[in-house]
Structure 1
Amino acid sequence: MAAIREQDISKGMAALDQWRKATEAHRGEPLEARLTFSPSGMPRNTWAMAVRYSLYLLENKAPGPGVEVRVAPWGAVKILDGPASDPHNLTPPDVIELEPDVWLRLACGLTKWSEEKDAGRISAIIGERDDLSALLPLD
Structure 2
Amino acid sequence: MAKARIDDTSGIAAVHAATADFDSASRDARATAVRYLLQLLADAAPGNSVEVRVPPFGAVQCIEGPGHTRGTPPNVVETDAHTWVELATGALSWADGVAAARIRASGSRADLTTHLPVLDRIPTIRGK
> So what's the TM-score if we normalise by structure 2?
0.82
**Two-structure CA RMSD over aligned residues (Å):** 1.9
Query: Could you say which structure has the larger radius of gyration?
Result: 1
- Asked if 1:55 corresponds to 2:54, the answer is no
Structure 1 unaligned blocks of 5 or more: 23-37
Provide the residue aligned with 1:95 in structure 2. 76
Q: Which amino acid aligns with 1:101?
A: H
Structure 2 unaligned blocks of 5 or more: 121-128
1:64-83 equivalence runs, <5 A: 64-83=47-66
Provide the residue aligned with 1:12 in structure 2. 11
Q: What secondary structure sits across from 2:49 in the alignment? A: strand
Indicate which of 88, 96, 108 corresponds to 2:89: 108
Give the C-alpha shift of residue 39 in structure 1. Answer: 2.5
1:109-128 equivalence runs, <5 A: 109-122=90-103, 124-128=104-108
Q: What secondary structure sits across from 1:42 in the alignment? A: coil
1:74 & 1:45 partners in 2: Cα distance? 10
Q: Deviations over 1:23-73 (max 9, x none)?
A: xxxxxxxxxxxxxxx633110110000000000000000000100000111
> So what's the TM-score if we normalise by structure 1?
0.76
Provide the residue aligned with 2:23 in structure 1. 40
Provide the residue aligned with 1:26 in structure 2. none
* Aligned-pair identity (%): 42
Paired residues in the alignment total 118
2:50 & 2:22 partners in 1: Cα distance? 29
Give the C-alpha shift of residue 113 in structure 1. Answer: 0.3
